[in-house]
Amino acid sequence: MPLPPGHTTDDFLLMVVVTDDDAAPSLSSNWLYLGKADAGSSTSTLAKVQTRVYYRRDTGALGSYVTVDFNTSPWPAGSPYVLAFIAAYTGVDTAGPIEKWGAVGTANTAATQVHPQLTTVVSGDWLLTLRTGSAWQARTVTVTGGTNTERVDDTDGFGELFAALYDSGAALNPGAQTQRSTTSAGGDAVCQGGSTMWSLALKPVTAAAATVALPGTASVTATAYNPAVATAPGGWELCGEQGLPRYRVGIDWNADGIPEGVEELADTWATDSFSRTATDGWGTADSGQAWATDGGLVSDYAVSSGTGRHLHATNNVTRYTLLPSDREDVDLAVDFSMDQRPAAAGQVHYVFLFAREASGSFYYARLQIPSGEDLTSLSLRKIVAGGNEPALATAYPMTLSPGTSYRFRFRLTGQTLRAKVWNPSGAEPDWQATATASSGSLLTDAGRVGVISYTSSSALPVTFSFDNFRASDPADPEDVTEDIISEISITYGRDQERQLSPAAVGSAALTLNNSTRKYSPENTASPLYGDLDPARLMRTSVDFNGQTTDLFNGRIDDYNVHADYADRTAEFTFLDALNDLSGIKLSTGVYASMRTGELVNTILDLAGWTAGRDIDQGATVVRYWWAEGADALSAINDLVKSEGPPAVAYVAPDGTFTFRDRHHRLLRTQSRETRATFTGGRLEDCTAGAPAATGYDFTKPFTYSHGWRDIVNAVTFDVEERTPAASLEAVWTDESTYALAAGQSVQIEVTSSDPFVDAVIPLSGTDITYSASGAAWVWALLSRRSGASATLTLRAVGGPVTVTAVQLRARPLAVQRTVKVSLTDPGSVTRHGERSYPDSAPWAGPEDAEAIANMILLHYGHRRPTVQLRVTSQDPAHFMQVLQRTVSDRIRIVNEEMGLDSDFFVERVTHTIQRTGQPGRAPVHSVVLGCERDLVTPSNVFTFDVRGAGFDQGVFDLTVADAPGEVFVFDDPVQGQFDRGRLGT
């Protein structure tokens, strides 16, 4: 097997070996075995996929090939097949390269499969997604969910096995990672021999002189052997009803901080306290339903001493107790205990809560209790026709001990499963495992509910005891989706399609049916009476293909209730958290020599921001920064101006505060590489209504602005340079009289015309003039030592005092000089007349101001067209484009009618969602992308020793210097070469 070209010492090597039967390879002991996942055992007619993963550190002495030996005797009749490859990653922690991993195998033949979801704790991890399978025809694979870069999509030219490897292509923040789904394509798309799905989190090397690995520290590159890629997106007609997108809008009416009511219950229709005596079964529950049993002997089931019991006198036999139910959606809970742990390593106990049971198929939550003190696993699962399927989600909440009663709860709504377990002597926790079933046979009909137990322990008998069983209807008063009677509109990004434009506060709007007067604030009979207040949290999301995507997070801004016979509605508008920052006033100390990104983080800290953050470091270094009386949003916008275009600060749909500096489009993959192509033909073309030959379709309206009115060819900044005074001087004085009794205090607000640093606490007799009898004196406290204001506290100590004057000494930060930075583009002025930049760069120093001015002239000395492009969810492939495209994405737009074929950057995103409440019909979800064209690079940029680009023909043009593939980047193996990378603006 060839090693990837370019592999080097200390690389992380990942070997994937895919076979069509259980034949383990033989290879060097230096390769570490990670694990195996399979779809079952092969037969002479059907090959089931088997996947093994190995890894090791590259020693630098491995050469170009690795030899892997197999014993072919385990293969069934027919030809044995092996598909294998090795990927190399640089910058991975050699001591512990894999933080977490998960793998599942399934005999399910569906083309689309969900991969295990990982929750990471290390900053900077890369997420790998591996899909393998067995099919009768060649297959290729696509992935959805999160950001992914294809490394391998290879069938090796035969149709027996396939494998595909993707990774995140960038360092990730810690936490629950976006769950990936993969889809096979080609032929009939199904996987007759099943599939295996893997997720791995690679841990980066810790950055030098840092306590955690910083994003970008791990420079990860994978090399695929013979990679090939193809996609075959299908229309919505390929999806069943449960495969369609499902939208949800929740409003946090009860102000608990979560716009979901997943804890609430409606009617409780079954209860059992087991306060009776019964043998050979559990008898009749308190609520009147008869318990049925299955598995083992009838004598294994009994009720006495306030509990229902499962007795296991033999192992490996499952015990069921079941109640009839006519509910599809249920919320179940029960207390349980065990009398002993499993006896030996590898032996386990299982306890289930299940629902929708019919003919051996059901959804369930399972506790797997190990033999020792290890954590119990809590998983959400599905059984179809008696066959177990891989876990939908797994958590490890706690260690369970014999003789202790625990509360176990399982909730099933639609295809969403939730579960938790806890000691009832403490508070009930949040849901510990949550998952949505999206593939295979989905169970939709009502069925029986109940509890199951099982043991493989060799120490028998084992008894499980149950008490306080409850079955209820779930309720979610905070879900308003079914009441929506209008389209849902959502907008975020800049306020125009220009990178010169500031970010706008994100907004959303919808109309609710109010025929029941539920949303009338004066209606005392409304279940929301007293809770219909502005500023309640709101979340809009969509579930598709086993993944939840946030579309908006914000708060109610306003609502209007209509009380007309023909219009009984309530119109709601919402604003995202950017608006929250506008209401927070700042008064800070002075911060010195910090980058704009650091200061954005500082402002968020001062504003009490608790949601996620994605903050670039910033290119501008601010020599001194402070805020006095400005709101947090204005302070951030001033920093964005001081960073220069295309910097932007906005709140992403999932509520993450996002700051991008002026270099982000040169460095980030989403802006360097074209994410999608959108194509439209000429109007007289008879095939114009057909799907695009390449890329994705867009629909009308398509609006175009030529860009003449936005030309800027003259930029002037007045840069104030401040320097601290050489010595302390009075920056504030107060000659008011303050008469203080012994122990009495007074607080005085100190304000200064210029900010100050190194303030000293006023001293009695030096800074504080006072009169007193005896040994009385004045004690002073200063709230901070820098800023444009402070609070001074004076207190009389030892007797009454009268203060007649007080001053504050500090080093003022006065303006020493004002530097005028003024640049023009003479050619543009000659052609278009002078057009000045109207804004400022309030915190930039002279050097950064000049860089910003150069950037503005480079980008706007000549016209840059803008477009508004509408993409509609006409099929799953277009739907994923609707969900994934965001601010600063590079996309290619082809409009043959206009002669347009260029790369554009997305600057503004507007979602419109219609038909959300019609089961069986795909919702209509469209996005309008407000885009600005990328710079046009001359083809004959001046280059030494190149024919046609020399002194007489080459163009001295800075545009190419800011092309992502050309700009000089330190430490980049290609663009960091001095004779290749070009110094940008």
pLDDT digits (tens, 9 = 90+) for 560-617: 999 887 789 999 999 999 999 999 999 999 999 999 999 999 999 999 999 999 999 9
The residues facing 926 across adjacent strands are 872, 912
- Going from the C-alpha of 275 to that of each of 281, 408, 466, the distances in angstroms are 14, 20, 12
Instruction: List C-alpha distances in Å: 40 to 106, 184, 302, 387, 578.
Output: 8, 19, 38, 12, 52
* Under 8 Å between Cβ of 860 and 935: no
Rounded CA separation 591/588 (Å): 9
CB neighbours of 933 closer than 8 A, spacing ≥ 6? 707, 864, 865, 866, 867, 902, 903, 904
Residues of the chain with pLDDT under 50: 77, 207-234, 237-242, 684-693, 941-942, 949-950, 953-957, 959-960
Coil vs helix vs strand at 879: helix
pLDDT of amino acid 881: 93
- Which bin fits 614, alpha (ψ -120 to 50), beta or left (φ > 0)? beta
Give the integer Cα–Cα distance in Å for 291 and 307. Answer: 14
Reported for 970-973, long-range contacts at CB under 8 A and 24+ positions apart, including other chains, are none
User: Residue 171's pLDDT is what?
Assistant: 86
What whole-number distance in Å separates Cα of residue 480 and Cα of residue 516?
13
Contact between residue 614 and residue 887 where contact means Cβ atoms under 8 Å apart: no
Residue labelled with tokens 């295309």 = 646
Residue 305 CB: number of other CB atoms within 10 A? 11
Give every CB contact of residue 617 below 8 A, 6+ residues apart in sequence. 595, 597, 598, 661
The whole-angstrom distance between residue 416's C-alpha and the CA centroid of its chain comes to 19
Q: Is the peptide bond before 701 cis (omega within 30 degrees of 0)?
A: yes
Q: CA nearest 158: which of 40, 20, 65?
A: 20
Q: Which strands, in side-by-side order, build the sheet including 50-57?
A: 32-38, 50-57, 12-19, 82-89
Q: Could you tell me the end-to-end alpha-carbon distance of the chain, in angstroms, rounded to an integer?
A: 46
Cα–Cα distance between 764 and 782 in angstroms, integer? 14
What CA–CA distance (Å, rounded) separates 679 from 31?
A: 48
Question: How far apart are alpha carbons 310 and 958 in whole angstroms?
Answer: 78
Q: Is residue 881 within 8 Å of residue 647, measured between CB atoms? A: no
Residue 682 confidence (pLDDT): 58
Q: β-strand 613-615 against 657-660: which pairing, if any?
A: parallel
Q: Which of 349, 555, 326, 315 has the alpha carbon at shortest distance from 453?
A: 349
**CA distance linking residue 381 with residue 907, whole number of Å:** 42
d(CA 190, CA 136): 9
Helix ranges (H only) for 816-894 are 826-832, 846-860, 876-884
- Classify 298 as helix, strand or coil: helix
pLDDT of residue 237: 47
For residues 810 and 758, the answer to whether their CB atoms sit within 8 Å is yes
Model pLDDT, residue 974: 66
Q: Which of 712, 697, 666, 646 is nearest to 887 (CA)?
A: 646
Which amino acid is residue 964, in one-letter code? P
In Å, what is the CA distance from 27 to each residue of 19, 24, 54, 55, 210?
15, 10, 10, 12, 38
Among candidate residues 982, 984, 973, 981, the one with its CA nearest the CA of residue 6: 973
Looking at residue 902, what is its pLDDT?
A: 93
The strand pairing partners of 493, in sequence order, are 504, 908
**333: its two tokens:** 């809970």
The torsion angles phi and psi of 26, rounded to 5 degrees, stand at -110, 125
Cα distance between residue 985 and residue 982, in whole Å:
10
CA pair distance 829, 844, nearest whole angstrom: 25
* Strand partners for 967: 982
Dihedral sign for Cα atoms in the order 122, 126, 127, 133 = negative
**Closest among 674, 443, 574 to 911, alpha carbons compared:** 574
What kind and span of H or E run contains 598? helix 596-606
| Structure token pair of residue 73 | 């005797």
Which runs of consecutive H residues, i.e. helices, occur in 153-216?
none
Number of H helices, E strands in the chain: 8, 59
Provide the CB-side half-sphere exposure for 66 (13 A, CA).
Answer: 26
**What distance in Å separates the CA atoms of residue 661 and residue 617, rounded to the nearest whole number?**
7
Count CA atoms within 13 Å of residue 32 on its CB side: 13
Of 682, 673, 678, the closest CA to residue 892 belongs to: 678
Please state the φ and ψ torsions of residue 193, each to the nearest 5 degrees: -100, 15
Please give the distance of CA 761 from its chain centroid, rounded to a whole number: 47
Task: Please check whether residue 603 is in contact with residue 647, taking contact to mean a CB–CB distance below 8 angstroms.
Answer: no
Query: Pick from 173, 174, 182, 84: which is nearest to 129 by CA?
Result: 182
